[in-house]
Amino acid sequence: MSTLDGLQFPHFENQKPSTSRTGRAIIAEALAGVAPQLSQQTLSEKDWRKQYPKYFKALVEYGIQTCQNPIQIAEQGLNKAHGSFEFYRHGQKHLLKDVMSLDAQPLHTVKIQGQSTAAPEWYVPYQGQKLQGQTLLEQIQRWEDGGIIEHSHAQALRAAVAHPEWFDLSDRTMVLFGAASEAGPLTWLSKWKANIVAVDLPNARVWNKILETVQQGNATLYAPATEAVDENSTTELLKEQLGANLLTQTPEIAQWLTQFEQQLDLAAIAYLDGEKHVRVVMAMDAIMQAVSAQKAETSLMFMCTPTDVYAVPADVIQASKDKYQQRSKAQQLLTRGVSTVTAQHFFQKNLHDLVHSDNGQDYGIADCLVVEQGPNYALAKRIQQWRATLARHQGQRVSINIAPSTTTYSVTKNPLLKAAFNGASLFDVEAFAPETTNAIMAALWIHDLRNPQSGANPEVTLNHPLELMMEGANHGGLWRVAYLARTALPFAALYGFATEKLPKGLLAKLKK
């Protein structure tokens, strides 16, 4: 009898699970219908951990070529993933695609009301300031002019400024998978009268944060519990009793959510390190799929990472090309020298080729994958893009926006990434503080739910399915850098380390 519990990577021939083998198989299946030869090459790739960016870029390149390809890629990739991952219970193995048919122990619901009577308010904390109204509009313009955010993102934020009434969420029931996530919108929803359905691990520290946040606000919290709980208990007692595990209680959470009478807005924001990230993404995906099948009006929300590979409008590619040609003499000399010494590993020119689509338009590819983040992270984020693409195609409202690089604890605990963020300004890239990202991305979600003209609305015509990820992008400037991002990152890190060591005059010359 197996001692495994919950959602796991597949085990092959009684061996330990291989994340690389599984990742290769899923990407190969996604490519099979659009690039059969490359699909076979993916399966036989010996150095997946270093070579995976090539195959993820191919998904985008072949996806651009026709408006049907992204749908086929998403369907095949998701079907392969759901038919590969395993779910263990009571020593029995099940495929993830069959997990919703398992007997599920009903979860209990605990309802807690926030104690504030304050009216909903939105602002953006930025560099010690509280930006609202005209000052916020001016900052939005600076970000847009600097290529930090795309025009569609700026327009969404301007619409949010113009419509403060959008932020009264007393009519919405918003499900947060990974409710306590540092990058999530819990703090804001708690100030906007939302009905918050919080799903997070049974962990006293996690639930203490959730309970305190909600109690200080004007929202209503709905929390799961395995046993019946007295809602009038103190926080000290409640924090020990609440929670559900996405990885082991997958069918229970799905069944619990389908019992809510209200229309649900499901947000997939849970994050775990390493291979667990893929597993929790698959758990959220299975639950979203099951709830959507039962409740047709369900909307979905995802947040993309800027360090991925995307189809982008042709003007973004032109901006990158211009930036390369307009480099200062000092930067040209420095980068040419470093590139030569390192045998072209550093400061590779960003690729400026366009790909023609059958819709008559040309699109570029912004390849911002960072090899060090690894293929598991890339796979997890790709699965979410696939679900978003397919769900919108099938008529669901889907909010999926690229969030900027953010100095969250999970990122800055890596010294290289922390230093790279500190040095990002050298390449006109801005890394945002968590409180700034939270405010912006929470507002983008509300915009996508409220604005009938948003690309999230399936009734709005997109010229290409991949434009869903182009809409509302805040990439922090990464799409428009002069160099292939991963070949400039190490030098950005060196620059970040040096900001406190080198003379400021020299640093200023490099930035010009």
Examine residue 229 and state whether it is found in any structural domain, yes or no.
yes
The rounded distance, in Å, linking the Cα atoms of 495 and 464 is 39
Strand-pair partners of 398 = 300
**Does an H or E element contain 223, and which?**
strand 220-225
- As given in the structure block, the two tokens for residue 7 are 């959602």
The rounded distance, in Å, linking the Cα atoms of 236 and 502 is 50
pLDDT score, position 341: 44
- As given in the structure block, the two tokens for residue 365 are 């590819």
Cβ 222 vs Cβ 197: under 8 Å: yes
- What residues have CB less than 8 Å from 73, skipping those under 6 apart? 30, 31, 33, 34, 59, 62, 63, 386
- As given in the structure block, the two tokens for residue 170 are 């007393």
pLDDT score, position 323: 59
* Nearest alpha carbon to residue 428 among 185, 145, 232: 145
Examine residue 511 and state whether it is found in any structural domain, yes or no.
no
Cα-based torsion angle of the residue sequence 158, 159, 160, 163 in order, rounded to the nearest 10 degrees: 130
The rounded distance, in Å, linking the Cα atoms of 100 and 93 is 13
Per-residue pLDDT of the chain (512 residues; tens, 9 = 90+): 568 899 999 987 767 788 999 999 999 999 999 999 999 999 999 999 999 999 999 999 999 999 999 999 999 999 999 999 999 999 999 999 999 999 999 999 999 999 999 999 999 999 999 999 999 999 999 999 999 999 999 999 999 999 999 999 999 999 999 999 988 999 999 999 999 999 999 999 999 999 999 999 999 999 999 999 888 888 899 999 999 999 999 999 999 999 999 999 999 999 998 999 999 999 999 999 999 999 999 999 999 998 899 999 999 887 766 655 555 555 555 455 444 444 445 555 556 689 999 999 999 999 888 887 899 999 999 999 999 999 999 999 999 999 988 876 666 566 656 666 665 656 678 888 899 999 999 999 999 999 999 999 999 999 999 999 999 999 988 888 766 666 556 555 555 445 545 555 544 554 54
- As given in the structure block, the two tokens for residue 331 are 């930067």
pLDDT score, position 479: 86
Examine residue 367 and state whether it is found in any structural domain, yes or no.
no
The rounded distance, in Å, linking the Cα atoms of 314 and 386 is 23
Cβ 180 vs Cβ 206: under 8 Å: yes
Examine residue 483 and state whether it is found in any structural domain, yes or no.
no
**Does an H or E element contain 92, and which?**
strand 92-95
Q: Is 76 helix (H, G, I), strand (E, B) or coil?
A: helix
* Nearest alpha carbon to residue 287 among 259, 266, 262: 266
Cα-based torsion angle of the residue sequence 450, 467, 274, 35 in order, rounded to the nearest 10 degrees: 150
- As given in the structure block, the two tokens for residue 157 are 């934020």
- As given in the structure block, the two tokens for residue 492 are 């950005």
Per-residue DSSP letter, 164: G
* Nearest alpha carbon to residue 188 among 442, 446, 451, 450: 442
- What residues have CB less than 8 Å from 275, skipping those under 6 apart? 9, 19, 376
Query: Long-range CB contacts (< 8 A, 24+ apart) of 342-346?
Result: 345/487, 346/487, 346/488, 346/490, 346/491
How many domains, in total, are found in the chain? 1
Examine residue 358 and state whether it is found in any structural domain, yes or no.
no
Q: How far is CA 186 from the centre of its chain?
A: 16
Burial 488-508 (b: 16+ CB within 10 A, else e): bbbbbbebbbbeeeeeeeebe
* Nearest alpha carbon to residue 269 among 441, 456, 393, 409: 441
| pTM recorded for the entire structure | 0.91
Examine residue 354 and state whether it is found in any structural domain, yes or no.
no
Domain region containing 163: 1-114+123-303+374-404+434-459+468-478
Strand-pair partners of 221 = 112, 196
Helices 151-162 and 133-145 meet at what angle, rounded to 10? 170
pLDDT score, position 487: 58
Examine residue 172 and state whether it is found in any structural domain, yes or no.
yes
Burial 373-393 (b: 16+ CB within 10 A, else e): bbbbbbbbbbbbbbbbbbbbb
Q: How far is CA 281 from the centre of its chain?
A: 10
- As given in the structure block, the two tokens for residue 380 are 């997890």
Q: How many residues does the chain have?
A: 512
The rounded distance, in Å, linking the Cα atoms of 206 and 74 is 34
Examine residue 415 and state whether it is found in any structural domain, yes or no.
no
pLDDT score, position 332: 52
DSSP code per residue over 100-119: GGS--PPPEEEEEE----PP
